[in-house]
Amino acid sequence: MSNAKLIYDCPEKNADLYYAAHFEAPDAVLFLEHHGKKILILSDLELERGKKEAKVDKILSLSHLVEKAKKRGAKGMIGVIDTLFKDFKIKKLTVPQSSPFTLVDALRKKGYKVEAGEHPFYPARTLKTPQEKKWITDSQKAVFKAMALAEKILGESKIKNNILYWHGTILTSERLRFELEQFLLQMGFHNTMQPIVAGGLQATDPHCIGSGSLRAHQTIIVDIFPRNDKTRFFGDATRTFCKGKASAELKKMYQTVKEAQEMAIAKIKAGVNGKTIHQAIVDYFEKKNFPTQVIGGVKQGFIHGTGHGIGLDLHEEPVRINTGDFVLKPGHVVTVEPGLYYHKIGGVRIEDIVYVTKTGCEVLASYPKKLEIA
């Protein structure tokens, strides 16, 4: 009896599969790890590209396996897996927690013992190698180049009746976002979700991507999180700007978020529980008179977690700094992004990425934190 790992998914959507096989495809492929050997099963359509691109020990032809299965009277993907497992004498397997229950039910019906693997399926990918750290840093550097472009455009824009104009026409969230995306494309990045350029009340809703005219004297949140086409690693950073004059209240809020982020970064090191860092930020905000509470039926203040793991996935589990229990390890890479959101003042979020070490953490790439743009 022999144990194996099985993934049946689309590499484009499954970072574990990409991590294991280094192969991109728009449709589902079958991947097997058995006795430490990686095996990829590909259709005729993917077979030749797979031989060139995939980093696995063996590539098998799906159509050959379908034929073999047919001869044994077995049908469909389950028939293929069954045929393969009988040849390899596999009876027990571990699959990702996200595996479709219909697949698992069918395998169990055939007598296989199926168990859930860890999440992520390859936990090693949460502990970044020097190469992976460099790839994330490179992505983050590109994010900051885009951030500099956003700041430049806001700097060049003119204020008329509190509305921003750039090169003579209204500067909308969409227009600024297009400039950022075009620039990222040029640098070899794609956005799996569009960057956030959200002003005013929109900035108080952390996942609102923003639309319409940008305005002076209020917060504009710019949150950029693209994926590198080649390395497939994400960057992720946020800065908050105010074109024109910020109110005293907004300035105080900005300063408080900035201090909270610095304090959090100073506390992060291996062995620390993420929830103590998150709680320290909550406490700091309270102390500075920025509490989190329901105002007019809407929760306002610090309404999200402090940070999430990042790598081949933008939001990478289980690394989180929030209310949950999670102890940081050397090699974890995590965002640090406290924010405050009040309908009356606006939204402020400042986000960087850090690499956790035994003694502290390293901020990967850097960019100034400055609210007002003249």
Binding site for a copy of itself (CB under 8 A): 12-13, 25-27, 44-49, 63, 95, 97-105, 114, 116, 178, 181-182, 185-186, 190-194, 205-208, 229, 298-299, 303-304, 314-315
* Tokens (6 digits) for 7: 């993934």
* C-beta of 192 vs 247, nearer to a copy of itself: 192
* C-beta of 8 vs 85, nearer to a copy of itself: 8
How near is the Cβ of 168 to a copy of itself at its closest, in Å? 18
Residue 237's closest CA among 195, 194, 174? Answer: 195
How near is the Cβ of 330 to a copy of itself at its closest, in Å? 27
* C-beta of 46 vs 246, nearer to a copy of itself: 46
* Tokens (6 digits) for 188: 């070899």
* C-beta of 2 vs 211, nearer to a copy of itself: 211
* C-beta of 205 vs 372, nearer to a copy of itself: 205
Alpha-carbon distance 55 to 40, whole Å? 9
Type and span of the H or E element at 278 = helix 274-287
* C-beta of 76 vs 271, nearer to a copy of itself: 76
How near is the Cβ of 206 to a copy of itself at its closest, in Å? 6
How near is the Cβ of 331 to a copy of itself at its closest, in Å? 24
Alpha-carbon distance 259 to 289, whole Å? 14
What would the DSSP string read from start to end of 177-241? HHHHHHHHHHTTEE-SSPPEEEEGGGGGSTT----SB-BTTSEEEEEE--EETTT--B--EEEEE
* C-beta of 48 vs 87, nearer to a copy of itself: 48
* C-beta of 206 vs 330, nearer to a copy of itself: 206
**For residue 123, which phi and psi values (nearest 5 degrees)?**
-60, -25
How near is the Cβ of 244 to a copy of itself at its closest, in Å? 26
How near is the Cβ of 324 to a copy of itself at its closest, in Å? 10
How near is the Cβ of 194 to a copy of itself at its closest, in Å? 7
3-state SS record for 319-360: EEECCCCCECCCCCEEEECCEEEECCCEEEECEEEEEECCCC
Alpha-carbon distance 12 to 15, whole Å? 7
Alpha-carbon distance 236 to 223, whole Å? 7
Find the length of the chain: 374
Alpha-carbon distance 346 to 252, whole Å? 12
Alpha-carbon distances, residue 72 vs 6, 20, 68, 82, 219 (angstroms): 22, 30, 7, 10, 66
How near is the Cβ of 209 to a copy of itself at its closest, in Å? 9
Alpha-carbon distance 97 to 206, whole Å? 28
